[in-house]
Amino acid sequence: MDRTVRQEQIDRWTEAWRNSPERQVAALALSASDIKKVAFSQQAANRMHQRFSLELETLPVTNQEHSGRCWLFAAANVLREGIAKELKLESFELSQSWLAFWDKFERANYFLERIIETAALPTDDRTVAFVLSTGVHDGGQWTMFVNIVEKYGIVPKDAFDETWQSGNTRTMNYLINRSLKAAAPKLRRLVAAGAPEEEIRALKNDVLGRIWGFLCSCFGEPPRTFDFEYTDKEKVFHAERGLTPRAFADRYAARILRDTVSVIHAPTADKPLHGTYTIRFLGNVEGGRPVVHLNLSMEEMKSAIIRQLEAGKVVWFGSDVGHDGERERGIWDDRCFGYEMLSGLDLEISKEDALDYGFAAMNHAMVITGVNLVDGKPNRWKIENSWGGENGVKGYYVCSDTWFDRYVFQAAIEKEYLGELADLAAQEPKVLEPWDPMGTLAD
C-alpha cells in the first residue's frame, strides 16, 4: 500500500475546495481576519448574559497579575467570603503572596526529595524525566493549598502584601529552577557514590537555605505574628493583636479545610465512578496530605455544587479555559464558536478522549458564585475569576452548561453537600502515574 500523498489526491481535494461555496467564503473571511473573531457567533453570545436565578453576593475580584497563582487566589477567595461575612466586612483579601512564598519553598524541598528518591534510576527514565520537568512552578491543586494553610497558616493581605516578584514570577521561577537543576546531578552523584546520608542532606539543605534567602528577597520575610485590624460595615474599628498565622487559620479556615473533598469528573476507562485516586509524586509539602480525588458523574458533581451554592457558599473549581472562550466579554461557551462550519474540519472529541489523548485537562482554577436554573436544570454558571476587573462584568465571567460539561474537571465540595457520596472519599485510593491528566496543575 502506498503511504505517500499523491498528486492526484491533491488535485482531487483542490477541485473539491474550489467548488465549495462554504470554503470560498471562508477563504474570503480568513484572508484578512482572526479565525476566532470570524467564528464567533454574536447570536449565541446573546444567550450568555449575566443574570442568574441563584446568585451569591460576593466581594470584588482579585488579580493574580503575571503569575500562575489562580489556584491560590481562588482558594483564598473561598475563605475570604466566609471571613468577610462573619466579621461584616465590605472589602477583604487574604495574602496570596503568603501562600505562594510557602508553596515555592516547600515545592523546592519536595523536588529535592524526589531527586534523592529516584537517584538510582537513569536520567532517561520516564519518572526521572517527569520529576525534572516539575521543579517549582506557580500552579497547584486544592489539596496543595490545604497543605500550605495547615502547616503555615494564613494572613490578611496587608500583613504580607504583594511585591513585584509575587505578581511577575517568570524570572524568579527560572532562577529557582536553575538552582534546582544545578543541584540535581550533584545529589544523584553523591547517592551513586554511596556518600553518607549526612553529606547528601547537607548538600540538600545548603540548596534549600539559599532558596529561602532568595524567596525572602523576592517576597519579604514572612512575619511570625501580625495585628489584624479592620473596620466593619457599621464603621466600628476592631483590632486583634499579636496573632500567629496558624492561630488565624485555625479560627477562620480549619473547618472548611477539614471538611472539603476534591471531586473530579474524569470519564476514562481507568477511573471507574465513585472510586478515589491519587497521583504519585503530586504534592508540594513533604509529609503533607496526599492529593486524593473522588470521581463522580457530572450530574453528581453539579448537584453538589448547586447545594453548596444554595447554602450561600461559593465553590472552588478547576477547568480548561483554553477552549471556546471570549475574554473581553467574559464568556466560555462551545456554542459561541462555529469552528467546524468555518474550517470544514471534524473537531468533535469526547471528554474521555480529550483526557486520554492530551487535548484537554484542568489548567485554571476559579470560583463559582451563581447558576441559572431552568426547570431545576442549569444552563449557565457565574464565575469569579482572578484576572482583574477589566473583562466580563467587573471581572466576573459566565460559562454555558454545555461548556461546563466538556471542560470542568474538578471542584472542592464540603462533605455535607455531597450527601451519602461523602463516605466514598474515605476509601483507599488507586495510585496513578505522575503524568496522569488528573495531576495537571491549575495556573
Burial 382-407 (b: 16+ CB within 10 A, else e): bbbbbbeeebbeebbbbbbbebbebb
Phi-psi region of 287 (alpha: psi -120 to 50; beta: other; left: phi over 0): left
DSSP secondary structure code for residue 114 in this structure: H
The SS3 call for residue 274 is coil
Give the angle subtended at the CA of 251 by the CAs of 257 and 427, to the nearest 5°. 20
Q: Please say whether the beta carbons of 360 and 319 come within 8 A.
A: no
DSSP secondary structure code for residue 300 in this structure: H
Output the CA torsion sign for 198, 199, 200, 206. positive
Cα(333)–Cα(325) distance, integer angstroms: 6
The SS3 call for residue 45 is helix
DSSP letter string, 116-156: HHTTTS-TTSHHHHHHHHHSS-S-B-HHHHHHHHHHH---B
Least Cα distance to 266 among 253, 255, 279 occurs for 279
Assigned C-alpha cell, 137: 512552578
- CA 74, 75, 80, 82: dihedral to nearest 10 degrees? 120
How many CA atoms within 13 Å lie on the side-chain side of 159? 26
Assigned C-alpha cell, 314: 461559593
The active-site residue, picked from 109, 147, 385, 391, is 385
Task: Say whether 70 is catalytic.
Answer: yes
Task: Say whether 385 is catalytic.
Answer: yes
Task: Say whether 379 is catalytic.
Answer: no
Q: Please say whether the beta carbons of 294 and 263 come within 8 A.
A: yes
Outline where DSSP puts E strands in 292-352.
Answer: 292-295, 315-319, 325-326, 331-332
The active-site residue, picked from 364, 372, 391, 399, is 364
Query: Any idea which residues carry the catalytic annotation?
Result: 70, 364, 385
